[in-house]
A and B are shown apart, each in its own frame.
Chain A
């Protein structure tokens, strides 16, 4: 593996960032779940709270893709190859999101 120290430091920093950002995400997900059952259907507050689901989805997607980069780096031993796969994956995700938004 190229630059094992760099790999270790970056993965730890990544872990901490995802963990800390997850606190706020879980909080907004909880509020969205509560709003789903407690607010009436036409409530404006409910509509704004339900964005918590979307936020959680993006967070999980971003975190998963981030970890896939580190696993690629670990398995291939090359950060350059991991970046290539990351770019391919990001392109596929953009295509999927694009297709979903047009439905």
Chain B
């Protein structure tokens, strides 16, 4: 069966639609794994990729589950029609009013600082329904390695204030699983536009426009969209690429001792964001298809077929550091060690660089003047 959505309205997902599957097999999301030796809590250790007892140091393998479930593509339209087999659970979550993060509530935790924006969270515990992720990328970078990667990244920043890397090095990281959606879709776009052919030069330059229309097709695979408002597209883009081939089927053992954020961007809104990205790529395809030296696109209609999605968790180490009155956030990809974050600029260094460039412009100005006869 071919599933089709004809994208003609400006807000195709404007209508609110409750597209959730009640969990017939709602599962417990217990994060406590007692050690078989001493009964203390086991925690997932990224370096060992095993669970390690916080008290006696005993090691335990994470039970092996077939990884195939993590790679299954779910039909988007089937999910909206409520006949999906994906499970939902109810979780207690702490909600940050500053950045909109919704972090799973841990009654043992004393810190009430939002791991994303570092602002104090008022204990606003609510119960939310969430779609259980089908897979995750387990952490493989340890906190110490994350520190090393961060240091290397900070030292390479141009025009940064002196000594800010030592300030950042004092801070601890929080290991957080961030929710994402990935979407696949085959697209067919009909367009009407004009091809411009330019002749002549200078004042005699003319562009002749000729009407064209056509069809471009493109398939999209695993377009990543953030499932949370607390992680901007910028951070998601910078921390990638994510090795999605290494996905593991979702097991709470991987989350022991770490935190997971609930999705605050739903499936439909996520697909809307994915479409925004797809449209930019499709516009490039249309321009190439039109050809010529210049192109005009008057209208385009895109049909999205065979839309599928996955709901996943990605590992991110997050820290915040202070410089003056400002706090800056740094993220480290928990799988590859890639770093991206907010960075400060030294106004004095920027002024110095601007001074040098102003002198350079002066030099070019002098050469231009001399070339014109002085």
Q: Mark A24-43, 1 if CB is under 8 A from B, else 0.
A: 01110010011000111011
Interface size on A, residues (CB 8 A): 41
Would B365 and A67 count as touching, CB distance under 8 A? yes
Name the prevailing secondary structure of the A interface residues. Answer: helix
A95, B358: Cα distance in complex, Å: 25
Q: Report the minimal beta-carbon distance from B127 to chain A, rounded to whole angstroms.
A: 34
The residues of A that contact B299 with a CB separation of less than 8 Å are none
From the candidates A23, A95, A99, name the one contacting B351 in the complex (CB within 8 A). A23
A43, B237: Cα distance in complex, Å: 6
Q: Mark B145-164, 1 if CB is under 8 A from A, else 0.
A: 00000000000011100000
A16, B87: Cα distance in complex, Å: 63
Name the prevailing secondary structure of the B interface residues. Answer: helix
Interface centre among B233, B294, B353, B360 (most CB of A within 10 A): B353
Would A18 and B361 count as touching, CB distance under 8 A? yes
From the candidates B159, B293, B358, B365, name the one contacting A30 in the complex (CB within 8 A). B159
Interface members, chain A 41-77 (any B CB < 8 Å): 42-47, 60, 63-72, 75
Would B240 and A102 count as touching, CB distance under 8 A? no
Q: Report the minimal beta-carbon distance from B275 to chain A, rounded to whole angstroms.
A: 13
Would B241 and A40 count as touching, CB distance under 8 A? yes
The residues of B that contact A72 with a CB separation of less than 8 Å are 369, 372
Q: Report the minimal beta-carbon distance from A29 to chain B, rounded to whole angstroms.
A: 9
The residues of A that contact B340 with a CB separation of less than 8 Å are 38
The residues of B that contact A67 with a CB separation of less than 8 Å are 361-362, 364-366, 369
Write the chain B residue with the least CB distance to A15.
B358
The residues of B that contact A25 with a CB separation of less than 8 Å are 354, 357
Q: Report the minimal beta-carbon distance from A36 to chain B, rounded to whole angstroms.
A: 12
The residues of A that contact B26 with a CB separation of less than 8 Å are none
From the candidates A23, A42, A103, name the one contacting B350 in the complex (CB within 8 A). A23
Would A99 and B361 count as touching, CB distance under 8 A? no
Interface size on B, residues (CB 8 A): 41
Interface residue? B38 (CB, 8 A): no
Would B354 and A64 count as touching, CB distance under 8 A? no
Q: With A46-B237, A75-B374 as known contacts, state yes or no: A19 contacts B205, CB within 8 Å.
A: no
Q: Report the minimal beta-carbon distance from A4 to chain B, rounded to whole angstroms.
A: 18
Interface members, chain B 327-374 (any A CB < 8 Å): 338, 340, 345, 347, 350-351, 353-355, 357-358, 360-362, 364-366, 368-370, 372, 374
Would B198 and A22 count as touching, CB distance under 8 A? no
Would A44 and B355 count as touching, CB distance under 8 A? no
A33, B158: Cα distance in complex, Å: 10
Interface centre among A26, A42, A88, A89 (most CB of B within 10 A): A26
The residues of A that contact B338 with a CB separation of less than 8 Å are 38
The residues of A that contact B374 with a CB separation of less than 8 Å are 75
Interface residue? B238 (CB, 8 A): yes
Q: Report the minimal beta-carbon distance from A23 to chain B, rounded to whole angstroms.
A: 5
From the candidates B201, B237, B347, B365, name the one contacting A64 in the complex (CB within 8 A). B365
Interface residue? B277 (CB, 8 A): yes
Would A40 and B205 count as touching, CB distance under 8 A? no
Interface residue? B234 (CB, 8 A): yes
Q: With A60-B361, A99-B201 as known contacts, state yes or no: A44 contacts B350, CB within 8 Å.
A: no
Q: Report the minimal beta-carbon distance from A45 to chain B, rounded to whole angstroms.
A: 5
Q: Mark A84-98, 1 if CB is under 8 A from B, else 0.
A: 010011000001001
From the candidates A20, A34, A39, A88, name the one contacting B237 in the complex (CB within 8 A). A39
Interface residue? B63 (CB, 8 A): no
From the candidates A33, A66, A95, name the one contacting B365 in the complex (CB within 8 A). A66
Interface residue? B281 (CB, 8 A): yes
Would A44 and B238 count as touching, CB distance under 8 A? no
Would B353 and A63 count as touching, CB distance under 8 A? no
Would B345 and A27 count as touching, CB distance under 8 A? yes
Would A75 and B369 count as touching, CB distance under 8 A? yes
Show 11 A/B contacts (Cβ-Cβ < 8 Å), sorted by A.
A19-B354, A22-B355, A23-B354, A30-B158, A60-B364, A63-B357, A63-B361, A63-B362, A68-B369, A68-B372, A89-B368
